[in-house]
Amino acid sequence: MAIQHPDIQPAVNHSVQVAIAGAGPVGLMMANYLGQMGIDVLVVEKLDKLIDYPRAIGIDDEALRTMQSVGLVDDVLPHTTPWHAMRFLTPKGRCFADIQPMTDEFGWPRRNAFIQPQVDAVMLEGVSRFPNVRCLFSRELEAFSQQDDEVTLHLKTAEGQREIVKAQWLVACDGGASFVRRTLNVPFEGKTAPNQWIVVDIANDPLSTPHIYLCCDPVRPYVSAALPHAVRRFEFMVMPGETEEQLREPQNMRKLLSKVLPNPDNVELIRQRVYTHNARLAQRFRIDRVLLAGDAAHIMPVWQGQGYNSGMRDAFNLAWKLALVI
């Protein structure tokens, strides 16, 4: 299937066995696994660097086993908190449900908190072990076309230069708004939740209470999650009529945090962002030599942290199969 591309002569050419669109956790895990298998890999990322604020906060035993398979788990563990329990509270703070799995069938704790930027950085550093793997940042994938035995990618740099990549396979790890999936016209069917949540991450956690707490308050449900490196995440349901701009105003943020912190004026905010929860599945995961993985293939609400972890499973499952085919 041919995709139209800008009629501009490229300045640089790259020829690889596997091109990966997206230097998020799924793309970086695939690059590490394929790298240790001796596959020639190029990762292209639109951003100029890795995202440096927390997003996913839960990593499970299978994901840690995947990290172990590429020799990175010892560098990942310092950024995790093992045996991370989840407790459901009444509005008055009474615990009525406690999810605390204490088994390790895969050799690792089943529930762990983690700081994603640090773990992503470990995976990016990990690919430097392999001379056959390259990561190019500030490269926007503008178009691609498929031939019988290869895929041609058309990139644009931040300076406006054009580059061409020739690859045997293209793996789309470019997120829920995947350019690759949309270009292929693959339906992304599912639902979008009617309600939103505002996520507030703070540094120098003043509470120091472990685990995750979900307060089932009908006035405004919220989540409080202790994370490694003294980071804490709060998630508050956005109520009808509220906007992100309103909630981010200092007086309104202070009001939100006063419900959960003794002194909301003395906290260091890392970020505040409103999220909409989606549950969607791509109708197809493969079209000829282009494959979808991670959020490009499926997205789900953040509860239980399976968006990140299912992406890790995708990366491992697809990488070993690609290595055998190549």
Structure tokens at 111: 């529930």
Burial of 18: CB neighbours in 10 Å, binned 0-12, 13-18, 19+? buried
Superfamily of domain 12-60+115-189+280-325: FAD/NAD(P)-binding domain (3.50.50.60)
Query: Where does the pLDDT of residue 245 fall: very low under 50, low under 70, confident under 90, or very high at 90 and above?
Result: very high
DSSP code per residue over 36-75: HTT--EEEE-SSSS---S----EEEHHHHHHHHHTT-HHH
pLDDT digits (tens, 9 = 90+) for 81-129: 999 999 999 999 999 999 988 889 889 999 999 999 999 999 999 999 9
pTM of the full predicted structure?
A: 0.93
pLDDT tens for each residue of 267-296 = 999 999 999 999 999 999 999 999 999 999
pLDDT digits (tens, 9 = 90+) for 125-138: 999 999 999 999 99
CB 282 within 8 A of CB 292: yes
- SS3 for 93? coil
Alpha-carbon Rg for the chain, nearest whole angstrom, is 21
